[in-house]
Amino acid sequence: MSYLHRSDAEKIIMTKTIASILLVLFISGGASSAFAQKRKSTVDLIISGGTVVTMDGTRRVIENGGVAIKGGRIVAVDSVAAIDRNYSAREVVNADGKVIIPGLINGHTHVPMTLFRGLADDLDLQEWLTKYIFPAEAKNVNEEFVRVGTRLGLAEMIRSGTTTYCDMYYFEDAIADETFKAGMRGVLGETVIDFPVADNKTNEQAMAYVEKFVSQWKGNALIIPAIAPHAPYTVSEGHLKAIRAFSDRTGALIVTHISETKREVDDSVKAKGASPIDYLNRIGFLGNRVIAAHVVWPSAEELGLLKKLGVGIVHNPQSNMKLASGVAPVPEMLKQDLPVGLGTDGAASNNDLNLWEEMDTAAKLHKVMSKDPKVLTAEEAFEMATLRGARALHLEKEIGSIERGKRADIVIVDSDDLNQTPSYNIYSDLVYATKGADVRTVIVEGRVIMRDRRLLTLNEETIKADARRFRARIIRSLDAKTVPED
């Protein structure tokens, strides 16, 4: 019997039944989608798509992955499908076809020295320092110089995917201010040195500066204030001991140069009857808050000692090569699982602040020195620029890998340029083929500070104009014979 032939009463009953079935379907459908909506957590930012190179404990690499970020920290790292299922965000960065890596860590810089880039090249360390750099600094370094040079260095580092750097210079408070404004992370050490410098004329002044500097920035999400005795040969034993005591009292990290050249070691043995590492250990200076740049000339026993004491080490292959300082025993450091990261050193001895070059150079330098191509792999070099670099700065709980709970310092890299095609191995691509110019988007503490190669917190044109203005000033300040004016 068709519907058309039913009685009116039957028609009404059937219509009502169909209506209530539809109503139930509608309500249950709505409720289940509302339920699903409820289960999705709202986060600040989602990076969606792309290959995530996590550098976590199992070295997980997630194809078509995603990262959810909230309050500056990573809340989830998973497949895109899982991230989509569980999170919604105000802002989504599409990384399809790209590589998502932990932000690179530049473990050693003197960031304002970008303004001395190319001022004096092809000299050994002592001649370079005493004839050119120290005089140029004495005549030019002031707070404005430091701010301009810092902005130049920050822009260069962000554009090449560095999210954290460790610095040592003068007016470090101004460097901290510029770094914070640019949205970058820094372990920033105010220099203490036993001769009058631009910002402090005596050790008392320098220690008072550091005291204020550290207390002002302590607890800041981006800035880790530190104290930076220049080196064991430029700071007296008494001052070094006072610096260690300051660090014990405040928890501040100590940034310094140790064992950079053979001459430093020979002079130390002559003057103090001990190598720099031996001497620093003897006076109780070394410990697990020290970050030592270079360590080119340690003995085998000294490496064991550094490991036991938890000293962080920063290898600067290009600076060491350029100043012919020697080759640090990095393969041995890795064999002993020492916390050794990578740094550029100042732009005057490199002459850029590009971590991609340091990774590539580190891997190749140690192969040629040991005549063993297996001695430092691409993955190990990448680890030195990320997780092991974080260990060198004593920050491995906070940065260095893309893991739940860590600070959201993440870099998105293009992977389809000619120099990256075709692709077989992700670490090989990153270390041997990818360049700084392939970095597309940079995120620090969950905030996008470069999007599609455009800096969002710094003005490149103003930075370049300011730097050129300083170049003219620096040339005028030095002997015309030293720097030809063009």
Contacts with Zn ion, residue ranges (CB under 5 A):
345
Min CB(264)–Zn ion separation in Å:
13
Q: What is the DSSP string of 212-275?
A: HHHHHHTT-SSEEEEEEE--TTTS-HHHHHHHHHHHHHH--EEEEEES-SHHHHHHHHHHHSS-
Q: Which is nearer to Zn ion, 277 or 410 (CB)?
A: 277
418 DSSP assignment: G
C-beta nearest to Zn ion: residue: 345
Q: Which is nearer to Zn ion, 113 or 402 (CB)?
A: 113
Min CB(347)–Zn ion separation in Å:
11
- 3-class DSSP state of 273: coil
- 3-class DSSP state of 392: helix
Min CB(293)–Zn ion separation in Å:
5
For residue 133 the two structure tokens come to: 């750099």
Min CB(474)–Zn ion separation in Å:
19
Min CB(319)–Zn ion separation in Å:
7
Q: Where are the alpha helices (DSSP H) in 310-385?
A: 317-322, 330-335, 355-370, 378-384
* Per-residue exposure over 384-399, b if at least 16 CB sit within 10 Å of its own CB, e if not: bbbbbbbbbbbbbebb
Q: Which is nearer to Zn ion, 133 or 207 (CB)?
A: 133
Q: Which is nearer to Zn ion, 385 or 413 (CB)?
A: 385
Residue 327 one-letter amino acid: V
Min CB(219)–Zn ion separation in Å:
27
**Angle subtended at Cα 387 by Cα 383 and Cα 392, rounded to the nearest 5 degrees:** 105
Min CB(349)–Zn ion separation in Å:
7
Separation between Cα atoms, residue 362 and residue 330, nearest integer Å: 9
CA-based radius of gyration for the chain: 27
Place of tokens 């989830």: 76
Min CB(344)–Zn ion separation in Å:
9
Separation between Cα atoms, residue 213 and residue 243, nearest integer Å: 14
Q: Which is nearer to Zn ion, 147 or 294 (CB)?
A: 294
Q: Which is nearer to Zn ion, 228 or 455 (CB)?
A: 228
For residue 86 the two structure tokens come to: 């569980």
* 48, β-bridge pairs: 66, 94
Q: Which is nearer to Zn ion, 278 or 345 (CB)?
A: 345
Q: Which is nearer to Zn ion, 256 or 268 (CB)?
A: 256
